């Protein structure tokens, strides 16, 4: 009977250990991994235009597949500022930085005197873990989603605990202004994080917390959503 209990104990420990690293990745550098990003499809998104999704769907940017769950655990938040070159001027990035005190950022994130929108886009990028999974993904808030990013950060801060100790629910909402209709992210509290997910989240924090998140970004002119003056950009 003792031997049987030992076998059961070992099997239980093996299943319960979420930090076991699969073999074959021993020489990995964190810069080798292009982190997928959570994408909120809009009416002009290529996937919607091709009939592969609907506006308001939340998908994995790389696979274009719906997320396996809408419950996520935030691990760390990184800010980034990107000034995009307009597509009619060739497109691309004029500059990007993580320094909020960069003189270019201070000047280019202000609204113009006649309501001209900022030429530099501010991003709040959260490294998150989907509940029950082990690979990280990026949840990015910018333009008309920026206030939702601030809401998420505030909810995390109010717990007084490590960011990953609580989980949240991600959904989409339709919004309309005089420029048209589009979808934005919405976040709500979803309770305490399970112990197994806490262990994975802490390991990811130790790996990524102090490093710039390496993920594919898209130009702000794609699937363009216009913000009105007074909305965060």
Q: Which residue has the tokens 């994080």?
A: 193
Greater confidence (70 vs 144) lies with 70
Mean pLDDT in residue range 140-150: 92
Would you say residue 12 has pLDDT above 50? Answer: no
% of the chain beyond a pLDDT of 90: 52
CATH of 60-215, one of 1.20.58, 2.60.40, 3.40.50, 2.40.50: 2.40.50
* pLDDT tens-digit series, residues 91-125: 888 999 989 999 999 999 888 888 788 889 999 99
Q: Which residues pair with 140 in a beta bridge?
A: 125
At residue 87, the 3 state secondary structure works out as helix
Q: Which residues pair with 93 in a beta bridge?
A: 84
* pLDDT tens-digit series, residues 63-83: 889 999 999 999 999 999 999
Q: What pLDDT sits at residue 7?
A: 46
Widest distance between CA atoms in the chain: 81
In sequence order, which residues have a C-beta less than 8 Å from that of residue 66 and are 6 or more positions away? 57, 58, 59, 60
Would you say residue 6 has pLDDT above 70? Answer: no
Q: Are 213 and 127 in contact (CB under 8 A)?
A: yes
Neighbours of 4 (CB within 10 A): 8
């Amino acid at each position: 009977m003792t031997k049987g209990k030992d076998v059961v104990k070992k099997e239980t420990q093996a299943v319960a250990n979420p930090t076991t690293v699969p073999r074959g990745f021993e020489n990995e550098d964190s810069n080798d991994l292009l982190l997928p990003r959570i994408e909120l499809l809009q009416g002009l998104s290529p996937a919607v235009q091709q009939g592969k999704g609907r506006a308001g769907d939340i998908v994995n940017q790389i696979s274009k597949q719906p997320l396996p769950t809408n419950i996520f655990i935030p691990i760390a938040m990184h800010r980034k500022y990107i000034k995009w070159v307009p597509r009619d001027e060739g497109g691309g990035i004029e500059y990007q930085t993580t320094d909020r005190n960069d003189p270019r950022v201070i000047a280019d994130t202000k609204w113009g005197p006649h309501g001209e929108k900022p030429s530099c886009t501010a991003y709040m990028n959260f490294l998150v873990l989907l509940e029950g999974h082990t690979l990280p993904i990026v949840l990015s808030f910018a333009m008309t989603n920026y206030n939702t990013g601030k809401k998420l950060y505030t909810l995390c801060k109010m717990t007084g605990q490590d960011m990953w100790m609580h989980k949240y629910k991600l959904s989409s909402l339709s919004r309309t202004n005089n420029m048209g209709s589009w979808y934005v992210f919405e976040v709500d509290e979803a309770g305490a994080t399970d112990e197994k997910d806490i262990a994975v989240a802490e390991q990811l924090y130790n790996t990524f917390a102090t490093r710039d998140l390496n993920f594919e970004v898209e130009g702000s002119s794609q699937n363009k959503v216009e913000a009105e003056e007074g909305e965060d950009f």
